[in-house]
Structure 1
Amino acid sequence: MPGVTAPTRGQVLSLYKQFIKNSNQFNNYNFRQYFLRKTRDTFRDNVNQKDPKVLMNVFKDAKNELGVLKRQSVISQMYTFDRLVVEPLKGRKH
């Protein structure tokens, strides 16, 4: 595929921020922490990737996963969960 260009740094950072934002919208602490950790690990694993074809495929897959994450976070907001002991109290700093 001639002319394949890798996504720009700005596009990747924007995608990363969207993942973090949507991960933080989960009401359930365990899901929220899982998706935050998965996002960080996935982006960190691909930080040194240089091949434009691979980068475009990874970027395209990540955009598809972001769509799934957005839908799941909306569904998560429809349900309430009891707060866990490990969750920080809102409005209170330790």
Structure 2
Amino acid sequence: MSEGTGIEAAIKRLQVALDTLEAASERRLESEQRDAGLSEQVHVLTSDRAQLAAELDSVTARARRLETANRDIAQRLDAAIEAVRSVIAAHQS
């Protein structure tokens, strides 16, 4: 193998190695960009989840208050109906 051929082969191997390194570097950069995108999506989803949890807590508290008010109103209506029945019964006797 002549000196020129050896140098040419070494240059070709170096070029292949550089091309491989460049391709690996591009894949790494793309991977990091995807990871950054995923990280942003996770951040947004976490923020949305926190907001939804707060809204759920608020709605649950309101539902409990409405249930309590409903029971109170039902008891008052029952008492009023019973009072009306008593008055009607007293006047019919």
Q: Same fold (TM over 0.5)?
A: no
More helix, by proportion: 2
Higher relative contact order (CA 8 A, sep 6+): 1
TM-score normalised per structure 1: 0.31
TM-score normalised per structure 2: 0.31
